[in-house]
Amino acid sequence: MTSTSQDSLARLAAVIESRKPAQGGNPDSSYVARLLHKGPDAFLKKIGEEATEVVMAAKDVDHGASADKLVYEVADLWFHSMIALAHYGLAPADVIAELERREGTSGIEEKALRKAQARAQEEGAPQ
């Protein structure tokens, strides 16, 4: 990711942060403030809706639709995910750091490791 892309995400995150009710965000005039004011159920529902729209757009691309629709829907998903991150005191940089941590790691190996760790925890947990 270029620094310009990171800057764009950081700027958007700052705007979202400024819309928090504790920062004076007004739910009557700001969509973000309204979602944050309503609480997790509101923005988590939107994330679910947007994720479904991403899937539908991808299926449409598979059948000849423009990929622009997929980009549009992913942008909506990212945006609403950023609202969730802000609510929980996190930022896009946290997600980027996690992706960088995973860089060069086999997804198959990582999933197998997580399963082994979960199994070990279950076996070691008090009955």
Q: What pTM, to 2 d.p., does this model score?
A: 0.81
Separation between Cα atoms, residue 121 and residue 96, nearest integer Å: 28
Is the pLDDT score of 81 beyond 90? yes
Count the Cβ atoms, other than its own, within 10 Å of residue 85. 19
23 alpha carbon, distance to own chain's centre: 22
Give the long-range contacts of residues 85-89, CB within 8 A, separation 24 or more. 85/13, 86/13, 86/16, 86/17, 86/20, 86/36, 87/20, 87/36, 87/40, 87/43
Q: pLDDT value at position 6?
A: 75
Are the C-beta atoms of residues 12 and 79 closer than 8 Å to each other? yes
Least confident of 2-11, 33-42, 45-54: 2-11
